[in-house]
Amino acid sequence: MTARKQLFISSVQKELADERRALKEYVHGDPLLRRFFEVFLFEDLPASDHRADEVYLHEVEQSVIYVGLFGDDYGYEDVEGISPTEREFDHATTRGTERLIFVKGNDDSARHPRMLSLIRKAGGQLIRRRFGSIPELTAILYASLIEHLERCGDIRSLPFDASACPRATIKDLSAEKIADFLDRAQRERAYPFGRKTAMSKALVHLNLLDKTQPSHAAVLLFGKQPQRFLISSEVKCMHFHGTEIRKPIPSYQIYKGTVFELVDQAVDFVMSKLAARVGTRSESPQAPVTYEIPRDVVAEAIVNAVAHRDYVSNASVQVMLFADRLEIWNPGHLPLPLTLAALRKPHPSIPHNPLVAEPLFLARYIERAGTGTLDMIALCSEAKIPTPEFKQEVGTFMQIIRRPESQQESKTQVTGEVTGEVTGEVTGEVRRLLEVVQSEMKRVEIQQALNLKHEDHFREAYLIPALTDNLIEMTIPGKPTSRMQKYRLTAKGRAWLDSHLK
């Protein structure tokens, strides 16, 4: 955090003492103002052998804002007939210090002529404000200080995703991630810029810079380590065998990365735990995989949570798979005028984070038309599972998708990691990999057959366990990273399939 700015509060020493003290206590007690301001009062100075007027003028020089409280009295006059209060005002004026002048009362008849002259002099240079009580004074000071902070860029009136991410620089963004995005956006939406576009040009075109600094949206979308700056932007995924949140949690993953990576990892987590049916290859070149909850429903719910969450909140997106349902929670409220009922009929798209939503649209993670919840409802109807539920509770938006009763984990169906407990042999992830592998296939072909997007999750949950258990093997074992590398079932893998898929 940057050093706090000093406010110099000036008035005739024997007058308005309560007001001076109240302003200091107010600024230091306000959660926002105390982050930015330190208050100087002359009565707080310890005894010293320096002349008081010299000390006060020095403190004016150290201050960013001069606050003058003018009452009825003019105060002590020096040999030239000038009071310390007027000296301080003149010194602030000469140095170009920002000045805020507050005059107590509307009746000038009782004011000292020299104070009245000072008030008029100040009024000829700036806008002065009058106050009648301490609450009124603190209110107008607060408004003035907030205006100063906004003008100086210390606080922003911009949307969160459009404002600069503190401490982040262009070096904290990944050129490779931006290039991959441009490649996909050009392919999916005919975006005019390709992967060779300069990073600065791409960021400007996507409105991801606040002056020269990356915005929060830029860090969320393309940061090398987004959670370094936005800790709560992670996604927590949990898998429970029952219908309640209870410890121990059988499977608990905290995913980090860009919004694209968070969506891919969270979707892959859920899909790896759902029951799936693998069709015959007579239906298509590759054996089709049908999940109990359509992947598009899961993806839509998760991308909604990641794209539209409140990133100011300290809470994270939570994805929880129970025996009977999938729940996705994200911090935040529906933007006005949307209501829970409106989500079930055609409605406008009102993104909470528009600069995050735009690249997600360009990469075809979401649509602009506000059809996401309607698509979820239609897909659930086609899959013959209950209509999704939407709730708003304690600052959290919840999406609930019911699992079909015939596939719930209380039955004998094997799902996700429960498979290992039922068969004593392999996880549900490995089982699905074995079911889709045909002849010799590249890593990306197997991943696509499983409808999985996140490569790291695929390797850790599917590929490496299958290799470790000698259920599949590399076609070029001496060169694991060869671009020609493929995978095929081993004799053990074929035997396992023959015994379990009768």
Total domains present in the chain: 4
Of 43-57, 117-131, 288-302, 331-345, the least confident: 43-57
Residue 367 scores a pLDDT above 50: yes
Q: What is the pLDDT of residue 409?
A: 46
Give this prediction's pTM: 0.61
Yes or no: say if 131 and 70 are a contact pair by the CB < 8 Å rule: no
Token pair in block for residue 314: 């300290």
Is 276 within a domain?
yes
Residue 50 scores a pLDDT above 80: no
Mean of pLDDT over the chain: 87
Is 377 within a domain?
yes
- Produce one character per residue of 29-60: b if its CB has 16 or more CB atoms within 10 Å, e if not: eeeebeebbbbbbbeeeeeeeeeeeeebbebb
pLDDT digits (tens, 9 = 90+) for 253-272: 999 999 999 999 999 999 98
pLDDT digits (tens, 9 = 90+) for 163-177: 899 899 999 999 999
> Does residue 177 share a domain with residue 134?
no
| Distance in angstroms (rounded) separating the CA atoms of residues 145 and 163 | 20
Residue 28 scores a pLDDT above 50: yes
pLDDT digits (tens, 9 = 90+) for 124-147: 888 788 998 888 898 889 888 988
Higher pLDDT, 418 or 440: 440
Is 441 within a domain?
yes
| Distance in angstroms (rounded) separating the CA atoms of residues 368 and 358 | 8
> Does residue 379 share a domain with residue 287?
yes
Is 345 within a domain?
yes
Is 137 within a domain?
yes
Higher pLDDT, 401 or 248: 401
Give the mean pLDDT of 225-250.
93
Last residue of a domain, one of 229, 254, 275: 229
> Does residue 347 share a domain with residue 241?
yes
Is 413 within a domain?
no
- Could you list the residue range(s) of the whole structural domain that residue 461 is in? 418-500
Higher pLDDT, 498 or 37: 37
Last residue of a domain, one of 130, 152, 174: 152
Is 440 within a domain?
yes
> Does residue 347 share a domain with residue 236?
yes
Give the mean pLDDT of 142-168.
84
Amino acid sitting at position 12: V
Give the mean pLDDT of 244-250.
88
Full DSSP string of 122-178: HHTTS-EEEESSHHHHHHHHHHHHHHHHHHHTSS--S-GGGSB-TT--GGGB-HHHH
Is 214 within a domain?
yes
Q: What is the pLDDT of residue 157?
A: 65
pLDDT confidence bin for 52, thresholds 50/70/90: low
Give the mean pLDDT of 58-65.
90
pLDDT confidence bin for 286, thresholds 50/70/90: low
Q: What is the pLDDT of residue 91?
A: 93
Q: What is the pLDDT of residue 215?
A: 94
Q: What is the pLDDT of residue 406?
A: 57
pLDDT confidence bin for 47, thresholds 50/70/90: low
* φ/ψ (deg, to 5) at 9: -100, 120
Count of alpha carbons within 13 Å of 105, Cβ hemisphere only? 11
> Does residue 245 share a domain with residue 357?
yes
> Does residue 326 share a domain with residue 451?
no
> Does residue 138 share a domain with residue 14?
yes
> Does residue 114 share a domain with residue 86?
yes
Dihedral, 476, 477, 478, 482 alpha carbons, nearest 10: 50
Residue 489 sits in a domain whose CATH number is 1.10.10.10
> Does residue 242 share a domain with residue 134?
no
pLDDT confidence bin for 424, thresholds 50/70/90: very low
Residue 432 scores a pLDDT above 80: yes
Residue 309 scores a pLDDT above 50: yes
Q: What is the pLDDT of residue 236?
A: 97
Residue 423 scores a pLDDT above 70: no
Residue 71 sits in a domain whose CATH number is 3.40.50.450
Q: At what angle do helices 84-95 and 113-123 cross, to 10 degrees?
A: 10
> Does residue 205 share a domain with residue 333?
no
Q: What is the pLDDT of residue 478?
A: 85
pLDDT digits (tens, 9 = 90+) for 323-332: 999 999 999 9
Last residue of a domain, one of 206, 229, 252: 229
Higher pLDDT, 26 or 43: 26
Q: What is the pLDDT of residue 240?
A: 94
> Does residue 427 share a domain with residue 338?
no
pLDDT confidence bin for 117, thresholds 50/70/90: very high
Strand blocks (E) in 192-323: 209-210, 213-214, 235-239, 251-255, 276-278, 289-291, 317-321
> Does residue 391 share a domain with residue 246?
yes
Q: Find the helix or strand (DSSP H, E) in which 189 lies.
A: helix 175-189
- Give percent of the chain above pLDDT 70: 90
Residue 281 scores a pLDDT above 60: no
